[in-house]
Amino acid sequence: MNVFDAMKDGGFDSVMYKYDKSTGLKMIIALHDLTLGSALGGIRFYPYESWEAALIDAMRLARGMTYKNAIIHRLSRGVLSHGGGKAVIWGNPKTDKTSELLRAAAETINLLNGKYIGGEDMNMTVKDVEIMYEKTRYVTGLQETHYRGGRIGSGDPSPVTALGVFEGIRSSLKFVFGTDWMANRKFAIQGIGSVGMALLEYLAVRSDPSRIIISDNDESKISRATLKYPGIQFLDPKNSDEIYDQKCDVFVPCAMGGVINDGTIERLATAGVKIVAGCANNQLLQPQHGEELKNRGILYAPDYVINAGGAINVATELKQLGYNHDEAVGMTRQIGPLLDRIFLDAAQKNVPPGRIADEIAERELADARQWNDSDIY
């Protein structure tokens, strides 16, 4: 199947490529489903191997945002209503990210006339979003001290994302072990970027740091984590792939997507992992890997449910009444109870939890389409 057929069959609204010679910007914006409103999704800055790799990632992420925003629509009772989309910038964030490039990216977003609203994602910061805001109003996640143009910034969404993941881990532990007590549990965290580090703090306070093992390809991140939490276990960045082989109760993927696949499921099962629950997007390489986890007795917390806190936070900033931190946190804490219901329903029907989550999201979209197509005004 060629890429155009994949876009059509995948229900994509549109995909836009942008190359800007003067700044070196190479950007893709993928809009998946706009049933619930303008697409809301972060901007990822990453050194992809090719345009094709960047496109595949953008499309997978955009589709995931459709489902994530549908879940948020459910959690907010329709107050937060956005479609799914994602932007990726192909380049090395350490060397290619300049103010000029970010402004060019902002002007590219303007070309969509509000159909897409961007924000922080991998290798993008609040400072970067502020620079883009100079050229576009279609970004969110502005700094908390921001009051320009009637906008109150929601700040870095990472802590709220981490809170939702923490609540999801508690839900997962209760389902598998009958209690969310963490002191005797062992965790393996893959990736300690902004969200992973914030989540590490939650876990380290409630667990024994010596029972937490971390991995990351960036040695400086490992150093910061071990300095802050003496006694924590870590893998040499050169051997970060060994994270799948660590004997633990909970594997916590917080890096790139697609890490749950045929090879890694075998390794996780051999290591005795009982739960996969983390903040990474698109953790399953293919949908059937959710079924395979179930067959191996490993509980999977659907990624777009457990990591929805950050999207809740930035979506709250866009409300007409403005950002309210307590409201965003309160809504994020409902991720745990929602996962309780998903796990129970999945067990009763003997299906993977991801299938139940998909049904909830698709029901929200179907109801919205029925409303949009009605003659009621």
Alpha-carbon separation of residue 285 from 220, 259, 280, 303 (angstroms): 28, 6, 12, 12
Annotated catalytic, 86? yes
Structure tokens at 302: 């659907």
Minimal CA–CA distance to 43: which of 110, 123, 98?
123
Structure tokens at 256: 């790139």
- The alpha carbon dihedral of 235, 44, 31, 53 has a sign of negative
CB-based contact 307:339 (threshold 8 Å) = no
CB-based contact 164:332 (threshold 8 Å) = yes
CB-based contact 307:281 (threshold 8 Å) = yes
**Residues 257, 120, 77: CA angle, nearest 5 degrees:** 85
As a whole number of angstroms, the longest Cα–Cα distance in the chain is 63
Between the two ends of the chain, the Cα-to-Cα distance in Å is: 41
Q: Of 86, 186, 221, 294, which one is the catalytic site residue?
A: 86
What is the CB-side half-sphere exposure of residue 223 using CA atoms within 13 A? 3
Three-class secondary structure of residue 1 per DSSP: coil
Helix (H) or strand (E) holding 87: strand 83-90
CB-based contact 117:318 (threshold 8 Å) = yes
Three-class secondary structure of residue 92 per DSSP: coil
CB-based contact 141:155 (threshold 8 Å) = yes
**Token pair 């010679």 is at which residue?**
21
Rg of the chain in Å (alpha carbons): 20
Contact residues for 48 (Cβ-Cβ < 8 A; gap 6+): 54, 57, 88, 90
CA 274, CA 256: separation in Å to the nearest integer? 21
Measured N-to-C along each axis, helices 309-317 and 51-75 cross at an angle, to the nearest 10 degrees, of 80
Residues identified as active-site: 86
